[in-house]
Structures are given as structure tokens and as C-alpha cells.
Amino acid sequence: MEEAKAKQIVESLREELNKYNYEYYVLDKPSVSDYEYDQKMQELIKLETEFPSLMTPDSPTQRVGGEPIDAFKKVQHDVPMLSLGNAFNEEDLKDFDRRVREGLGVDSITYVCELKIDGLAVSLRYEKGVFVQGATRGDGQIGEDITNNLKTIRSIPLRIDQSDTIEVRGEAFMPQRSFVKLNEEKEANGEEAFANPRNAAAGSLRQLDPKIAAKRSLDIFLYAVGRWEAGSLTSHSDRLTYLQKLGFKTNPEWRKCNGIEEVIEYVNSWVEKRPNLSYDIDGIVVKVDQLDYQEALGFTAKSPRWAIAYKFPAEEVITKLLDIELSVGRTGVVTPTALLEPVKVAGTTVQRASLHNEDLIREKDIRINDTVVIKKAGDIIPEVVRVVVENRTGKEEPFYMPSECPACGSELVRLEGEVALRCINPSCSAQLKEGLTHYVSRNAMNIDGLGEKVIEQLFDEKLIDKISDLYKLDKEELLKLDRMGEKSVDNLLAAIEASKDNSLERLLFGLGIRYVGSKAARTLAENFETMENLINASYEDYVAVNEIGEKMAESIVRYFEEEPVKELIAELETLGLNMEYKGPRKADQPTDSIFMGKTVVLTGKLEVLNRQEAKEKIEALGGKVTGSVSKKTDLLIAGEEAGSKLTKAQELNIEIWNEQQLREALEE
């Protein structure tokens, strides 16, 4: 066959296959059988193999054509991919409507409501009609190039009828049937299952081998335009219609609403209909429809003023409370935990829920064998909401906290002003294990390779029972333990040795002094500079330090008065641990720093810096990092998926930065 004739056939086959793809994956109305589709695909593959010059990036054969890569390249978004502010109830929606109307000086607004798909935000860039680049949202400014993985999503067209450069945005997700199938395969292979479809979708799109992503049967809904050089439409609803006309898959459930009351009606209807969908949603996105209104309202540093995301109330489910288990923390607090009949809540299977303390159990009248309602607080932490009293049969048993520690048998006490029962035996095995786990944790001594299970194994084998024992571990003894090969043992011993050089505040936090968190440890180390100065300081010396209160000062004095503590610190010093503060002194801080004297709050997920690194860098430049937003807050740094702190900062008109702005300020 001549190449000219082959080119004609190839172009015809591509047109047909693109049409079949659109019918099957976007319209869900296939017009040909799978067999006929496969036959045409094989014919196209054969011709492109025979005539390589006819191969193009937008051919249907190239959806899984990419080779595995070593790492994803960074992509700078031309137009930032901002996140949305959140609304949690009708009042929040009405406040949003009020702000919009006041900002525009109008009496009523037309909104567009769309289902908030629980997936991964991505952008798709087309040049001269060809899909050339796909990227993750990242921190809103910089994402990752996942073009080859996105090509494997059949509902994404590789070519569109649009000659202008256009960037469209949407949510890639994993349908529930694909999620179930994937987890069945993982479990059959003895692998850990994904917690929920969102994690599965994100994990699939970040695979370095596109062939893995191709097997995951992902889908996408497009909902916005980021860049469009020749865009002439005047409303968001018109854009949605146009995206569909171009061949993009948009969610069919969107609706125009005249005024906030219609918005609330739409939201409430989906609270009921949500379980009937074949994909997960976690809320409703509400946008001002007119594009000139959107432009007039503008943006904050983090989110548009013309859109908001209504988050559904936490899902509540019913299950049975089978038993109550007790655990002892590093400070001796005994915490009850409900053991539940496994039940799926907000995408994950839950078998345990915290009961906090005895007073809560009494207040909610929680009994063993009760039918209970549970939810995930903040869609993360399982908790018992209430008992279904009408389901009681008489076989339910009241629960009483023990008088003795479940780990060591010592008498439990309730200290004045506390609701928790506490074991005060300093040799309690459970406390020692928890204390050691805390000591090696990331924000303390940061000893990589010493997780909770390894600590427990070392403790049970009597290789350690106090902190100083970590620095006496013998390689030959470690090699005898389960799952401890020579390389892992060498790495572990190297990490332990490296921890000796940590600055004083890490050791101070790792010791687990009551009321002394990582921030207070940093403050103490910065002000007293050496462990010797801390040990010799008086109560008056401590309370003279800004941010050190009376309760904390009393606790520190009591701690350093204990003879075993003095012996431990002396032993650690003999073993070579650093006992001095290595961070910047206050006298060394630049007086012209943009953070000097400012109160800063970090919220959401940071992509490049982790939260601790950002905190340390800001404090080194004279800033004060706190955990909550108030009128005293000067600046909020909002990472991905920022929540209520961002909303509160917006309400208080507090300056808001994204991570990119933070990094630029730190570099300056």
C-alpha cells in the first residue's frame, strides 16, 4: 500500500475511533460492539507500525504509549489553580451570598451549582486542537506533569475542534466499580488496599509507569477554563455547555439557580441523593454565573471570592460496639477505645473509635453491645456520636474504668482538675514504650527506622527500657531480630548516631516533659541555650520567659528535680548527645525580616516544605507561629485543602498567602 493511501485510511480510522470513544466514555451510549472497536484499533496499529511517519501524539493508539519515567517534571500554571473557601451550613451559604451581593452592589445573583467530585484536580492544555500537557494542581502555582497518565483516561479527548490554545480544568476520579475491582486485586495479591477512591485516583495518576494508570479505569469531569486566548462566552454555564460541545465530559447534574434559596434547595436534594451515584462526591460547588461579575469580585491570595464549596455533613452510620479496650499513653493517661463491628464510613472501613475518657462514656451512657451511631470528626477521626437506645435488648453491659493500670497493675489516680485516669508508675511498660516512640518521632529526635513496631520489638526483647539504651544497641543483637537485615541495621544505627547532633530543643521535646510541646521546647532552648542552664533555672526564671506559663514552669521544675531524670541526662551527655541550642539566637535574627513580630498560622497541606520546616524557618526570622486564627493573627499560610482556618481568616480580613509566596519570602 502506498503511504498516501495509508494516510487516508489512518485519518478515517482515527476519526471513527475518536467518535466511538466519545460515545462510549462520555455519552455512555456506544454505537458499535467491543469487537468492532477492537478490530478497527488493530487495523490502525498495523498501519502506524508499517508507516511510522503517520504516527501522531493524538492518535488513539498513543493513550498508553509512554515509557516509565524516573520522576515527574514541574509545571508552572499560567493561571493559578486556586482552592475554594468552604461552607458547612445554610448560614455559611447565606453569608457567601451576602458578601457577593454587597461586593457587586446588586440585589440578586444567578449561581451555577455543580457536584464536588472527590478526586484529584488536574489541568489539560490543548494547542491547535491537540492535547499537549496535563498537570496536577500541586500548590496552585506549580504542579507536576502527568500527561502520559492522563492520556490513559479514555474520556479525555486527545484532539478537539478548537484551534486556539485552551487550558481546561477538571477532577480526575476513580468510579466506585473500578475502586472495588482494584482493591479486590490488591487483597488477592496480599497488598494493602486503598482507603478510598480519592486516594486510589491520586495514587494512580502519580504512577511513574503509565501502563499501571491505564489499568485503573479512571474517569474525569471537566468544570472550568483556566486559559482561553479567544474566549468570547459571557457566563460559566455557557462555558460548561461549550466544553461539552468540544467533546469534554462534564457532569450532567449541574444546575443554574436564581438566588441563594434555590442553591440551598439544590444542596439539600443532593444530601439525600448522594449515595445513589456511581462515584464519590463530598459537597457542592457554588459559582457566580456571570463572568464579568466573577472578574469584578476577584480573588483573595488563596481562593476566588465568586465561588464556594459546600461540604456535606459528616456521614453517620450505625454499628455495634463489641467491647471497650484500654491503652496507656506516654504520660500515663488511660484512654478507652470502642471496638466496633467493621463498618464503612466516609470511604474507609472503621473498627475502632476513641471514647476519650470515663466522663464521656457516662455522659453518653455507652455500654458494651450497644448499637451506636458513629461518624468521622472532620471526615478523619472516628467517634461515637450517640447510642441508639431503642435498640437495646437488655444484654448491654455498663462499662467501668478499672482501678489498676491495664499494663503494669499500678493504682490509677485522677489528678485534681483532670477528667482522665492516670498511671503514675514511672516504670510502667506501656508508658516507657510510648515515651520511646515519642522520643524517636519526627518532631523530636527524628530517628528514621525506629517506628512503633520496632520500638515494641526492642522493648519486648529487653534490648531497651529507657532512652539511653537506644545509644547502646549492638549490631549483632539487632541482626537476630525479625525483618532486620544488615543494611536496615546499619541504616538504623547510623540514624541513631546522627541524632546525637540534634539541637537542644529536639532533645527537650523528646524527653516528654508534661505541657512542653515542640514550640515551648524551642522557646526554652532559645532562651536558656544549654541543658545545664535549664536544670539550674528556677521557677521564676521560667515564668519570666514569654510564652512559658505558671503551669508549664511548675512542671519543668518538678521534672528536673527528679533524680532519675538527672541521671538520664548525665548518661546521655556521656554517650555524646549534644546539650546545646544550635538554632539562631534572637540577637542574630534580622530586624528587617518580613516575619519579625508577626503572628503566623499554617494550615492545609504544603507541597514543598513540610509544616515543621516552614514553622522553624518563620520563627528563625522572628515570626511567631500559632495553631489558631484570631484577631491577633497577622498572616495565614494556606496550603492545599485548607479548611475552617482559611474561612475564618477571610472573615477577619487577615492577609493570606499560598505556599509559593511563603517560599519567595523565605528566599528573600
Number of neighbouring beta carbons within 10 Å of residue 442? 10
Among 188-192, 254-258, 405-409, the least confident range? 188-192
What mean pLDDT do residues 636-652 have? Answer: 83
Q: Write the pLDDT tens digit of every residue in 358-399.
A: 888 999 999 999 999 998 765 567 889 899 999 999 999 999
Q: Cα(297)–Cα(432) distance, rounded to whole angstroms? A: 56
Backbone angles phi, psi at 234, to 5 degrees: -110, -5
**Does some domain include residue 118?**
yes
pLDDT confidence tier of residue 508, bands split at 50, 70 and 90: very high
The answer to whether the CB of 116 falls within 8 A of the CB of 285 is yes
Share of the chain above pLDDT 70, in %: 94
Q: Which CATH number does the domain housing residue 511 bear?
A: 1.10.150.20
> Quick one: what percent of the chain has pLDDT higher than 90?
42
Domain boundary residue, one of 449, 478, 501: 501
Please state, in angstroms and rounded to a whole number, the distance separating the CA atoms of residues 485 and 433.
Answer: 23
pLDDT band (50, 70, 90) for residue 338: very high
Same domain as 508, residue 486: no
Residue 102 lies in a domain: no
Note down the domain range covering 532: 504-574
Residues 566 and 625 occupy one common structural domain = no
Q: Are residues 600 and 552 in the same domain?
A: no
Domain presence at residue 93 = no
Beta-carbon contacts of residue 517 (< 8 Å; ≥ 6 apart)? 509
Residue 660 lies inside a defined structural domain of this protein: yes
Check residue 109 and give its pLDDT: 95
Same domain, 470 and 541: no
Q: Are residues 230 and 119 in the same domain?
A: yes
Same structural domain for residues 660 and 548? no
Q: Is the pTM value of this prediction over 0.85?
A: no
Domain membership flag for residue 488: yes
List the catalytic residues: 116
Of 622, 618, 620, 652, residue with least CA distance to 637: 618
Per-residue pLDDT for 455 more than 70? yes
Same domain, 284 and 408: no
**Quick one: 283 and 134 in the same domain?**
yes
If one compares 561 and 188, the residue with the highest pLDDT of the two is: 561
Report the DSSP pairing between strands 334-345 and 348-354: antiparallel
Q: What is the CATH number of the domain that holds 603?
A: 3.40.50.10190
In total, how many domains does the chain have?
A: 6
Do 63 and 154 meet the contact criterion of CB atoms below 8 Å apart?
A: yes
Decide the pairing of beta strands 635-638 and 655-657.
Answer: parallel
- Per-residue pLDDT, 352: 92
Q: How far is CA 164 from CA 58, 128, 227, in A?
A: 16, 6, 10
Q: pLDDT tens digit string along 227-258? A: 886 667 899 999 999 999 999 999 999 999 99
CATH number at residue 342: 2.40.50.140
116 and 233 inside one domain: yes
- The answer to the question of residue 366 being in a domain is yes
Half-sphere exposure of 431 (CA within 13 A, CB side): 18
* Domain-ending residue, one of 501, 523, 556: 501
298 φ/ψ sector (left φ>0, alpha ψ -120 to 50, else beta): left
Question: Domain for residue 76, yes or no?
Answer: no
| CATH code (residue 184) | 3.30.470.30
Phi, psi of 659 (to 5 degrees): -65, -35
Q: Alpha-carbon distance 591 to 609, whole Å?
A: 24
**Do 150 and 7 sit in the same domain of this protein?**
no
Q: Which of 482, 501, 520 is where one domain is finished?
A: 501
d(CA 292, CA 232): 12
Q: Are residues 492 and 518 in the same domain?
A: no
**Cα–Cα distance for residue pair 233/243, rounded to 1 Å:** 11
Query: Residues 113, 245: one domain?
Result: yes
CATH number reported for the structural domain that contains residue 35 in this entry? 1.10.287.610
* Residue 397, domain member (yes or no): yes
β-partners of residue 227 are 167
- Whether the CB-CB separation of 350 and 382 falls below 8 Å is answered with yes
Edge-to-edge strand ranges of the sheet holding 120-127: 130-136, 120-127, 166-173, 219-228
Sequence letter at residue 293: Y
